[in-house]
Amino acid sequence: MGIDPGRKIIVKIKQFSVLTFCLLPAVFLDNALADGPPQVRAVENQAFAIGEKLCYILRYGPIGAGRGTMEVKDIRPVDQHPCYHVVSITRSNNFFSLFFRVKDQIESFIDTQGIFSRGFRKKIHEGSFKTTYTVFYDHEEHLAVSKNDTTEIPPLVQDPLSSFYFLRTCDLTPGKSVFVNYHSNNDVYRLEVQVLSRQRIKVKAGRFNCLVVRPLMETPGVFFKPKGKLTIWLTDDQRKMPVLMKLKLRVGSLTAELTRHWPKEPYFLSEKVRLRSQISPRFSIPELSSRVLLILYLISWWEKTFGLWWQRSLRQRRKGNQWWS
């Protein structure tokens, strides 16, 4: 008995949702893997900060399949080290949930100084399958410690989500490849990311100048199936936001398209910008002042217009002239 074609599509969408929001690649330059304690590395991060949120729509061809978000929520201490708490959520929409429900949440704790992972947690709910996985990275002993296993890791190893955020801090040049060692499911993998070209594309969130990158695993089928090719479009600026991700299949393609993002404007990690994002993630203080002035003007106009009308109506009524009838 053959496999239902509809079931194949659901499985592909499930794989792509995990692929896009859990196993997004990032890069390590070879010299980043040099021997030495992790504290010696300090990465200049002008790509992301607390409060950043990226929203995506997932599609199989033209058909909507679900939505996903990636958000830098706050800073939390892990083993007395301050870490970005990054959360990625994937949800299937109502239509696809009738056949196969996806409700995944991925969390990474990224060292604020070196941009490498100190902890990783995922809660997976896909159909009838449910699982929770947590791992702690001991960079002094070079060990990844989970509930059922302990794995030796290279220095400054990344998890599937932190590797993507580290990629955004790197200098990417078309025609060159960069590499990363990252830990996933109690194994360490070697990943090459090819920087292909520059393109200008349009998505729901707007038009962007982009760098086009393509991740390739040395072990076929771990990152994506050999039958498909994953391509990612990152904004060609210091933020390097992923605006489009496309997995090309034998029939059709799966895409994740950026629909909204906060903050709207490019920013650098200064104290002024951090304070501004904490005060108002949607609009700045000058914008707030202009809105208040507009509201006051409308109130004044309303009072003058309808106040005069009301006074005139009172005078007419006193004269016994029902002019409005």
Alpha-carbon distance 80 to 58, whole Å?
Answer: 37
pLDDT score at 31:
32
Phi, psi angles (nearest 5°) of residue 256: -125, 115
Alpha-carbon gap, residue 173 to 221, rounded angstroms:
26
Say what percent of the chain tops pLDDT 90.
47
Q: What is the pLDDT of residues 36-90, one digit of tens each?
A: 444 458 999 999 999 999 999 999 888 899 999 999 999 999 999 999 999 999 9
pLDDT digit string, tens, across residues 182-223: 898 888 988 888 999 999 999 999 999 999 999 886 543 333
Q: Please report the pLDDT score of residue 17 as a whole number.
A: 47
What is the model's pLDDT at position 273? Answer: 45
Residue ranges covered by each domain of the chain:
5-171+181-188+199-211+220-282, 294-325
C-alpha distance across the termini of the chain, in Å: 79
- The answer to pTM > 0.75 is no
Tell me the sheet residues that pair with 258: 56
Positions in the chain whose pLDDT score sits under 50: 1-3, 5, 10-11, 13-39, 219-227, 269-285, 323-325
Q: How far is CA 70 from each of CA 24, 39, 119, rounded to the nearest angstrom?
A: 11, 27, 17
Question: Which position has the token pair 């300090």?
Answer: 42
Compute the distance between CA of residue 139 and CA of residue 92 in angstroms, rounded to an integer.
36
Q: Which of 165, 161, 162, 163 is nearest to 180 (CA)?
A: 163
- pLDDT value for 178: 83
